[in-house]
Amino acid sequence: MRTTRARSHTGMSLLEVMLALMIITMVALANGAVIRAMGAMGVVQWSGTRHERPARLRTVAMEYVQAELEYLNNWPYEYFRDPVACSPSNGLPAPLATARRVPTSYLNMQEPRLPLLIAAADILISTESVINPGMAPTDCRPRRMTVNVYLAASDAPAVPGGAGGIIFVRGETAIAPR
């Protein structure tokens, strides 16, 4: 008579390994702390409300300011000139408004759009006095472009460029005639 030996199971089968990995994955995904930690590392992008971290909001606002300033820098100086000091009688285009608020007034479809979590931004154009600070120049001088970003609508002044308001992020650059 033949006897069979009992085989010992010293290892784990592939099915057992796959089942264990599936359970670990489900537990990890169900844990909100893990998901938030992965979001901090940039693995998971979740943010649909104003409950974003302040650092992320500031980054989004700074990216918008940078994009807006780069967009404005691509326009020719003629659009930023002072219409009083730089004679418009030589066929130059009409200059842009010295103060405007977005999203109310975009220049065109190529202008960067305000991020959803940001309420408003003011784009201001002023004269940059390089010779006598504080005195208005009498010729075509450099113009300063300022972008002020407001987190909430109540933070913005009543009129674009007006007094008051709580500026969340601010950026400036200058443009000069070439």
Residue with tokens 């390994």: 17
Query: For the segment 11-43, what is each residue's pLDDT rounded down to a tens digit?
Result: 778 888 899 999 988 887 777 665 666 555 554
Q: What is the CA radius of gyration of the chain?
A: 29
Query: For the segment 113-154, what is each residue's pLDDT rounded down to a tens digit?
Result: 888 888 889 998 887 766 665 555 556 778 888 999 998 888
The answer to whether residue 50 scores a pLDDT higher than 50 is no
Query: For the segment 90-117, what is each residue's pLDDT rounded down to a tens digit?
Result: 566 667 778 888 887 777 888 888 888 8
Torsion of CA 62, 145, 74, 97, to 10 degrees: 120
Band (62; pLDDT cuts 50, 70, 90): very high
Q: Domain extents for the chain? A: 1-46, 54-175
CA distance 62 to 13: 53
What string of DSSP letters covers 112-154?
A: PPPPTT--EEEEEEEE--SSSTTS--SS---EEEEEEEESSGG
